Homo-oligomer: A and B are copies of this chain.
């Protein structure tokens, strides 16, 4: 882990044209760390070989995700602040999906030496604003800074189960209510709009066209670029007795199929609960809502609404997704097969 131990905690530089190559690693870190939020669980923060974080109940939840310029984001569409926000939000959502409260992040960033320092400052601000908005008390306890050709963010997030059992994907039982907290389909629709209309005549991502989309379709574009997952819903669902839960990252149908397969059941969605665009609701990825199952008759916690029911399935039909009782083709995307606008 690299540290800012050698650098002043605030630096005198203000020029926006300064690049990473102009400064030492210590000086860059000295510009970034003061912008990052301190974690309430931090026992030892940046400045040594490693950080030390509190784990009050003797366990910690951990998840990691990498975002890379090109496959995962385009700088013509996302601001640095957007990138920091999304990198935090998607990881916090995985922690929340276990029923845990997010406590801390570590963040590794690789960037070309020609990157303006203000880009890293913007990423830091996005990380901070996301933590403060969605998981107050969660902060950045350490990180790493490297050189690369493509801007890359690797975030690892931690959470506290507060003495509870983790909510797994495998606990859904026939008769359980299937409920969801968050948006459905907006992020996928936003990405489809960006790919179709946020590009120039040659299909290259274009800043002006993306900005026009942000005005014409603010909900969908924001859902894609700066998602606001319902982080607080995770621990609330656990306290309310959720039997299974996950973060909906690859689309409702695919992710419901994961709960159903892990639990050896089927899931039947009620079409009336899926809005006007059923295929968009079922197929759109990157919404980062929480899909959970609750025992029959449970009072759903605030933020969750019922979408259907867990049904019994024979071993060969475990994982089957139906809508009003009719089988649904799950479709979806794969990171090595690219985005499929039609299916996902």
A59 → chain B closest CB, angstroms: 6
Q: Pick the contact of A146: B1, B68, B104, B149 (CB < 8 A).
A: B68
Contact B169 A48 (CB under 8 A): yes
Chain B residues with CB under 8 A of A245: 49
A270 → chain B closest CB, angstroms: 25
Interface positions, chain A 307-344, Cβ under 8 Å from B, are: 334-337
Chain B residues with CB under 8 A of A28: 336
Among A76-84, A94-102, A211-219, A271-279, the stretch in contact with B? A94-102
Question: CA separation between A62 and B53, bound complex, in Å?
Answer: 8
Q: Is A162 part of the binding interface, using a Cβ–Cβ cutoff of 8 Å?
A: no
Contact B247 A49 (CB under 8 A): yes
Interface positions, chain A 275-319, Cβ under 8 Å from B, are: none
Q: In the complex, what residue of chain B is closest to A319 when comparing beta carbons?
A: B6
Q: Is A163 part of the binding interface, using a Cβ–Cβ cutoff of 8 Å?
A: no
Contact A62 B142 (CB under 8 A): yes
Q: Pick the contact of A59: B1, B23, B53 (CB < 8 A).
A: B53
Question: Interface size class for chain A?
Answer: 35 or more
Contact B110 A152 (CB under 8 A): yes
The proximity string for A residues 53-64 relative to B, scoring 1 for CB distances below 8 Å and 0 otherwise, is 111111111111
Question: CA separation between A66 and B106, bound complex, in Å?
Answer: 12
Contact B63 A1 (CB under 8 A): yes
Pick the most buried of A108, A245, A262: most chain B CB atoms within 10 A of its CB.
A108
The proximity string for A residues 178-202 relative to B, scoring 1 for CB distances below 8 Å and 0 otherwise, is 0000000000000000000000000
Q: Is A266 part of the binding interface, using a Cβ–Cβ cutoff of 8 Å?
A: no
Chain B residues with CB under 8 A of A145: 335
Q: In the complex, what residue of chain B is closest to A100 when comparing beta carbons?
A: B50
Chain B residues with CB under 8 A of A337: 21, 24
Chain B residues with CB under 8 A of A98: 48-50, 52
Contact B5 A66 (CB under 8 A): no
Q: Is A207 part of the binding interface, using a Cβ–Cβ cutoff of 8 Å?
A: no
Known: A70-B148, A261-B5. A58 touches B61 (CB 8 A): no
Q: Is A166 part of the binding interface, using a Cβ–Cβ cutoff of 8 Å?
A: yes
Closest CB pairs A-B (n = 6): A154-B154, A55-B55, A50-B63, A49-B97, A1-B63, A156-B156
| 29 pairs from A and B in contact (CB 8 Å cutoff) | A1-B63, A1-B64, A5-B262, A6-B258, A21-B337, A48-B169, A49-B63, A49-B95, A50-B61, A52-B166, A53-B62, A54-B59, A56-B58, A62-B141, A64-B106, A64-B143, A64-B144, A64-B154, A65-B144, A67-B146, A68-B110, A68-B147, A70-B148, A71-B148, A106-B156, A145-B335, A146-B335, A148-B152, A152-B152
Apart from A54-B58, A66-B108, A152-B152: 13 A-B pairs, beta carbons within 8 A: A21-B337, A44-B166, A47-B169, A48-B246, A50-B62, A50-B94, A51-B61, A52-B61, A55-B55, A64-B108, A65-B144, A66-B110, A146-B335
